[in-house]
């Protein structure tokens, strides 16, 4: 592994992280910083392991930032797709725009786990659903979104939403986009006028949360930018930078009435403070509901903003956290130091 570290071998990205004993930081295999002697390197298989051993993230290679952080050329392409969602982008079109088709395909498969064609298809269909919802006719929508036949458009829409175009006007779009944070990549999910999901990329229940939210709101998940996305990203950046303690983003809570009571109570816990599960149960008026309260905590789909990380065990132990316990620890440390 030391050979891979010295040679900055990108094929080892995600395979190991190198802890540098002399500086106390941990790096990606591809880090461009000066390499230490082999006896001063310790290897980890995950970011979690490195942090638990007391190593800090390297500021040069940013190991806490997932590999999916979009490079400049991809951001340019995503902007073109966002501006013209109905445009078909075949290989010859990509080349004319200055993009190498194989490189584009590899990036989408690696970072979105989907093909570039599938990504374009969902963007086009998302645009179509919005237009139908705004009163545009099915026929007009089909042809302005690049479909060569009405039957082809009808079939594509039915495969995505399970409904015919005439019934799709009631279908909402669940816009999902990535946000890079100092603790790793997060997915923001927005419906209509509010944020319905904010989860870390490696959360075990991520897919379950997406299915639950889309089913509850009669929505279709589409990887596309929402008008509130920039504000979510801006406020998260301020939070991690220590200049924002309270968020002002409109939220859409998806859960039972009991769960919503718990989540609303969580948002009353002051920045920099913690309470135990027993206290949270008392605050919602049911001291015997500790287990149900803990379960509601675990089903919170809007991490950080609904601060379930501020609830700990009565003995002071951190207990569980959907975004991993090491992140819970880092969030509490951030708030304690700046509160």
Q: Distance (Å, rounded) from C-alpha 266 to C-alpha 269?
A: 6
Query: Across all residues in the chain, what is the average pLDDT?
Result: 82
| CA atoms within 13 Å, Cβ hemisphere of 181 | 28
Provide the percentage of residues in the chain whose pLDDT is more than 70.
82
Whether residues 155 and 85 share a domain: the answer is yes
**Tens of pLDDT, residues 21-44:** 999 899 998 999 999 999 999 998
Whether residues 112 and 158 share a domain: the answer is yes
Give catalytic status of residue 308 as yes or no. Answer: yes
Whether residues 209 and 153 share a domain: the answer is no
**Tens of pLDDT, residues 138-195:** 445 554 555 545 455 555 555 555 555 444 445 678 888 888 888 888 899 999 889 9
CATH of the domain at 213: 3.30.160
Cβ-in-10-Å burial (0-12, 13-18, 19+) of 331 comes to buried
The answer to whether residue 134 sits within a structural domain is yes
Residue 222 confidence (pLDDT): 76
The answer to whether residue 64 sits within a structural domain is no
- pLDDT: which is higher, 93 or 49: 93
The answer to whether residue 245 sits within a structural domain is no
Of 121-130, 236-245, 312-321, the one with minimum mean pLDDT is 121-130
Whether residues 164 and 185 share a domain: the answer is no
Whether residues 264 and 288 share a domain: the answer is yes
Residue 49 confidence (pLDDT): 74
Catalytic, out of 27, 58, 61, 308: 308
Residue 241 confidence (pLDDT): 86
Whether residues 154 and 188 share a domain: the answer is no
Whether residues 79 and 164 share a domain: the answer is yes
Which structural domain, as residue segments, surrounds residue 298?
257-338
Q: What are residue 82's phi and psi, to 5 degrees?
A: -65, -40
CATH of the domain at 31: 3.40.10.10
Whether residues 22 and 52 share a domain: the answer is yes
| Number of domain units in the chain | 4
- pLDDT over 70 (residue 136): no
- pLDDT over 70 (residue 121): yes
Whether residues 97 and 118 share a domain: the answer is yes
The answer to whether residue 251 sits within a structural domain is no
The answer to whether residue 264 sits within a structural domain is yes
Whether residues 18 and 76 share a domain: the answer is no
Largest Cα span, the chain: 69
**DSSP 8-state secondary structure symbol assigned to residue 172:** E
Residue 228 confidence (pLDDT): 94
Of 92-101, 138-147, 274-283, the one with minimum mean pLDDT is 138-147
Whether residues 194 and 161 share a domain: the answer is no
């Amino acid at each position: 592994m030391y050979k891979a570290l010295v040679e900055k071998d990108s094929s080892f990205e995600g395979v190991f992280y190198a802890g540098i004993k002399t500086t106390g930081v941990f790096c990606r295999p591809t880090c461009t910083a000066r390499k230490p002697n082999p006896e001063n390197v310790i290897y980890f298989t995950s970011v979690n392991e490195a942090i638990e051993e007391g190593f800090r993230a390297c500021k040069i290679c940013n190991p806490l930032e997932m590999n999916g952080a979009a490079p400049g050329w991809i951001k340019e392409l995503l902007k073109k797709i966002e501006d013209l969602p109905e445009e078909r982008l075949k290989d010859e079109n990509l080349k004319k725009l200055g993009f190498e088709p194989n490189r584009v395909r590899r990036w989408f498969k690696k970072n979105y786990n989907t093909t570039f064609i599938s990504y374009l298809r969902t963007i086009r269909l998302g645009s179509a659903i919005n237009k139908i919802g705004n009163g545009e006719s099915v026929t007009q929508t089909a042809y302005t979104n690049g479909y060569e036949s009405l039957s082809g458009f009808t079939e594509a829409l039915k495969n995505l939403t399970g409904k015919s175009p005439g019934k799709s006007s009631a279908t909402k779009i669940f816009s999902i986009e990535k946000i890079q944070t100092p603790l790793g990549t997060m997915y923001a999910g927005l419906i209509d006028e509010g944020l319905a999901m904010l989860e870390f990329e490696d959360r075990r229940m991520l897919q379950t949360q997406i299915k639950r939210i889309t089913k509850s709101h009669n929505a279709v998940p589409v990887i596309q930018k929402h008008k509130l996305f920039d504000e979510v990203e801006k406020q998260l950046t301020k939070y991690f930078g220590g200049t924002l303690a309270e968020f002002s983003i409109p939220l859409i809570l998806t859960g039972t009435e009991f769960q919503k009571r718990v989540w609303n109570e969580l948002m009353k816990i002051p920045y920099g403070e913690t309470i135990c599960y027993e206290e949270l149960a008392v605050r919602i008026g049911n001291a015997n509901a500790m287990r149900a309260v803990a379960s509601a905590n675990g089903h919170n789909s809007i991490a950080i903003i609904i601060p379930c990380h501020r609830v700990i065990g009565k003995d002071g132990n951190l207990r569980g956290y959907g975004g991993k316990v090491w992140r819970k620890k880092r969030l509490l440390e951030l708030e304690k130091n700046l509160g």
